[in-house]
Structures are given as C-alpha cells and as structure tokens.
Amino acid sequence: MEQTLVIIKPDGIKKSLTGNILTRLSEARLSIVAAKMMRVSDELARKHYEHLKDKPFFEDVIKYIRGELHGKGYKRVMALVYRGKDAIAKVRALAGTTNPEEADPTSIRGQFGRLTTAGLFENVLHCSATIEEAEKEIKLWFKPEEIVV
Ligand code: ADP
C-alpha cells in the first residue's frame, strides 16, 4: 500500500477547481485518508521545495504555493493524502506532467494549468513523484494522528 501527498495549489482554489480535481482523482479508486485546508508557512514551503533551491524560479515557486501570486483571499491550499496500490503513479498519471503545456491535454494539469507570462508553471496541483518524496512530504504536511487509515 502506497500513500501520496496531493496539494490543490492556490490557482486551483482561485479557479474553483477543488471539486473538479477531486472528481478526476477519484478515477484512481484510491482512499482519501487525510484532508485539510491550510495556509502554507514560509518554512514549510522552503522545506517542501528544498530540491529546487538552486533553480532560478525557486522564490516564485515559494510565493506561488504560499498564495502570494493570486491576490488576497487565496492564501490557502487543500492538502490530502491518498492511499492504495500504486497510489503515487496513479495520481501522477491523472495529474499530467509538470509543464502544463506539455501535459496530456486531458490530464488535470493539461486541462487546467497554464504557463504564466513570467514563465512559471501554474499547474493547479502538487502530487508526490516517488516513494521517498511521498514519505518525506506526508511527514512535513501532516501529523500522524491526522491520517485516518
Ligand atoms: P512537480 O510539481 O511535477 O513534482 P517539481 O518538483 O520539479 O515538479 O517542481 C515544483 C513546481 O515548480 C512545479 O509544480 C511548477 O509549479 C514549478 N516549476 C517546476 N519547473 C519549472 C520550470 N522549469 N519553470 C517554471 N516553473 C517550474
């Protein structure tokens, strides 16, 4: 049994896509074992995207996940943990690749993501890419007692 972290990012919240994204993810037939709305601290954002710290777009990605690019009222995300067989690959397949312009047009990122004029990939959701990443991320975003198995 695998667990994977999903975050509906501030652009997904602003575009009122929460329901659409959860409906698309339900095609994977996984269980939701944790879910919450939250404001992302600077510390959490930097730990979550630590692997990108040397990239030129790092500060923009931090602002993006913290809701600082989408105006007042969108400084929140929905974080979830999905659990089931091959959960990581199943969610990644439904989400589509990182660059929304290159993503399968029927994937969630392909349907709803955009490349901003500043060059940032606004791709409406995050999902863990590997088992190691999922384990690290779930520990960062959730307390053990918030996960209901
Ligand atoms: P993923 O979110 O698919 O796991 P990464 O961890 O590599 O991908 O990147 C984190 C986020 O940073 C992406 O979801 C996207 O919003 C942004 N991003 C990644 N690569 C680029 C890039 N080359 N240009 C602009 N934004 C990017």
pLDDT digits (tens, 9 = 90+) for 9-24: 999 999 999 999 999 9
In 9-143, the DSSP E strands lie at 31-38, 77-84, 114-115, 121-122, 125-127
pLDDT of residue 132: 98
Largest CA distance in the chain: 42
pLDDT of residue 116: 95
Gap between the Cα atoms of 77 and 80, Å rounded: 10
pLDDT of residue 81: 99
pLDDT of residue 100: 98
Give the whole-number percent of the chain exceeding pLDDT 70: 100
Give the whole-number percent of the chain exceeding pLDDT 90: 99
Residues assigned a catalytic role: 126
Gap between the Cα atoms of 146 and 148, Å rounded: 6
* Tokens of residue 76, six digits: 């929140």
Q: Stretch 83-103: mean pLDDT, rounded?
A: 98
Going from the Cα of 40 to the center of ligand 1, the distance in angstroms, rounded, reads 17
- 121 assigned ligand-binding residue: no
Give the 3-state secondary structure of residue 99: coil
Q: Stretch 102-109: mean pLDDT, rounded?
A: 98
How does the average pLDDT of the chain come out, rounded? 97
pLDDT of residue 44: 98
- 57 assigned ligand-binding residue: yes
DSSP assigned state of 16? T
- Give the binding-site residues of ligand 1, using a 6 Å CB cut-off: 52, 57, 61, 98, 119-121, 123, 126, 129
Domains of the chain in sequence order: 2-146 (3.30.70.141)
Strand partners, 80: 6, 35
